[in-house]
């Protein structure tokens, strides 16, 4: 409280809450634990568990009563019974198994949602890190341009250089500053997207730590870890279980019950008599006209479709991972060529052009052109590294890698 009063008195901002720090290694854990969309998706399991508890239960028994009499109320009859319906097949057990499969499928769906959200967060994080690398590159170039501008101002004040060249050098420095501000605005936009994926509250501060990792190309591809593929396989199991349930429904449910009653009978000229009745009732449907053929065929066709969908999904996953890996190879090759061959040549050419300008053998425009070429190559290498990491994110997301 004292600090707050002091801050208000001195017109200083009060201390903010703890900031959230994420890296490429920790962003997945943060998304899984804090993303609100994922928290909502987890309720799918609770829904599936509730349906599983309800599945496979007998219908509630029915209480029946009957009362009749003649017109003079001399003869009466009252009956009370209990009736229960139950299947003659193992349909209830199959419905329980189908409910358990639905619970597993809901879990796989949640993991697929998490896999997608983590992929989006990693992609946004890679873009933020790449923007920061680009800003650092521009800041270095701006520093070099500032030194050159100061040098030109100094020699121009002695009459050894043109004032126009000094203005060109200052303009070059201003250009870098403008690009840095544009990149800062893009970074703010991407940080906002990342905060949403991380489940952060408005006003919380996010710090992105680390740098872009190296160009390590993964070897091989295994689609077995993708939650979407697991969910598709469980859909096949569920379709087969549903088809078996439809086969059991060829035979209707059997109804059985017992009853007890009392009856008053008058036989003229004899006196009225009373009788007690106890009995059993059984009702067995006969599959003469409806044996559920249409529903059985539809369920079997659905199971076949689900099997083909698993094959198609697995092929698509492997194709997506293969394309991402091929893209990684190309970007890694390009980044290596720029770093090992082109950048050293550009550095040498920049040094030569600056030395030639200082010796009066070249103009300042040549120096700017050489520096611009060097900057373009460095930016091209950075863009190759960025594209490589984005392809790596797509590769990991396609295979369901954590």
**Range with top average pLDDT, 103-112, 211-220, 287-296:** 103-112
Percent of the chain at pLDDT above 70? Answer: 86
Using the predicted structure, report yes or no on whether residue 348 has a pLDDT greater than 90. Answer: no
Question: Higher pLDDT residue, 219 or 99?
Answer: 99
Predicted confidence at residue 216, as pLDDT, reads 87
Q: What is the mean pLDDT of the chain?
A: 84
Predicted confidence at residue 203, as pLDDT, reads 86
Give the pLDDT confidence of 372-398 residue by residue, as tens digits: 788 888 889 999 999 999 999 999 999
Check: CB of residue 40 under 8 Å from CB of residue 109. Answer: no
Q: Which of 228-242, 252-266, 319-333 has the lowest mean pLDDT?
A: 252-266
Looking at residues 77-91, what average pLDDT do you find? 89
Predicted confidence at residue 106, as pLDDT, reads 95
Give the pLDDT confidence of 1-20 residue by residue, as tens digits: 333 333 333 343 334 456 88
Using the predicted structure, report yes or no on whether residue 289 has a pLDDT greater than 90. Answer: no
Looking at residues 312-341, what average pLDDT do you find? 93
Give the pLDDT confidence of 221-251 residue by residue, as tens digits: 787 889 999 999 999 999 999 999 999 988 8
Q: Which of 166-175, 280-289, 335-344 has the lowest mean pLDDT?
A: 166-175
**Range with top average pLDDT, 141-150, 269-278, 339-348, 358-367:** 339-348
The pair of structure tokens assigned to 300 is: 């079997």
Predicted confidence at residue 17, as pLDDT, reads 52
CA-based R_g, the chain, Å:
39
Task: Report pTM.
Answer: 0.81
Predicted confidence at residue 143, as pLDDT, reads 77
Predicted confidence at residue 271, as pLDDT, reads 58
Predicted confidence at residue 98, as pLDDT, reads 94
Predicted confidence at residue 12, as pLDDT, reads 38
Using the predicted structure, report yes or no on whether residue 192 has a pLDDT greater than 60. Answer: yes
Looking at residues 60-66, what average pLDDT do you find? 90
Q: Which of 74-78, 128-132, 167-171, 341-345 has the lowest mean pLDDT?
A: 167-171
Question: Higher pLDDT residue, 164 or 262?
Answer: 262
Give the pLDDT confidence of 265-275 residue by residue, as tens digits: 766 566 566 77
Predicted confidence at residue 155, as pLDDT, reads 62
User: Domains of the chain by range and CATH?
Assistant: 16-399 (1.20.1600.10)
Q: Which of 194-198, 227-231, 299-303, 369-373 has the lowest mean pLDDT?
A: 369-373
């Amino acid at each position: 409280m004292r600090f707050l009063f002091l801050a208000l008195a001195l017109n200083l901002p009060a201390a903010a809450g703890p900031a959230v720090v994420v890296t490429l290694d920790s962003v997945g854990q943060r998304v899984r634990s804090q993303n609100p969309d994922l928290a909502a998706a987890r309720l799918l399991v609770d829904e599936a568990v509730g349906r599983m508890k309800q599945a496979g239960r007998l219908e509630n028994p029915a209480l029946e009563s009957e009362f009749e009499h003649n017109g003079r109320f001399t003869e009466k009859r009252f009956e009370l019974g209990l009736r229960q319906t139950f299947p003659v097949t193992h349909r209830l057990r199959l419905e329980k198994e189908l409910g358990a499969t639905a619970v597993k499928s809901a879990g796989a769906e949640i993991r697929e949602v998490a896999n997608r959200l983590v992929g989006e967060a990693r992609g946004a994080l890679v873009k933020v890190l790449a923007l920061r690398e680009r800003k650092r590159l521009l800041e270095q170039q701006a520093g070099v341009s500032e030194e050159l501008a100061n040098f030109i101002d100094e020699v121009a004040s002695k009459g050894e250089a043109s004032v126009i060249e000094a203005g060109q050098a200052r303009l070059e420095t201003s250009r870098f500053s403008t690009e840095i501000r544009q990149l800062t605005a893009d970074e703010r936009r991407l940080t906002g997207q990342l905060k949403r994926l991380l489940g952060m509250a408005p006003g919380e501060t996010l710090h992105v730590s680390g740098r872009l990792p190296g160009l390590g190309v993964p070897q091989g591809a295994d689609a077995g870890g993708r939650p979407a593929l697991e969910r598709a396989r469980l859909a096949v199991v569920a379709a087969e279980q549903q088809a078996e349930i439809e086969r059991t429904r060829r035979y209707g449910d059997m109804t059985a019950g017992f009853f007890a009653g009392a009856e008053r009978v008058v036989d003229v000229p004899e006196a009225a008599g009373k009788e007690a009745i106890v009995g059993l009732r059984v009702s067995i449907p006969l599959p003469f006209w409806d044996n559920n053929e249409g529903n059985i065929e539809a369920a079997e066709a659905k199971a076949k479709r689900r099997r083909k969908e698993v094959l198609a999904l697995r092929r698509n996953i492997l194709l997506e991972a293969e394309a991402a890996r091929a893209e990684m190879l190309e970007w890694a090759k390009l980044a290596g060529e720029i770093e090992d061959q082109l950048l050293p040549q550009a550095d040498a050419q920049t040094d030569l052009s600056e030395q030639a300008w200082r010796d009066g053998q070249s103009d300042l425009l040549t120096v700017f052109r050489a520096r611009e070429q060097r900057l373009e190559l460095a930016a091209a290498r950075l863009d190759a590294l960025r594209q490589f990491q984005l392809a790596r994110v797509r590769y990991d997301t396609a295979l369901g890698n954590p």
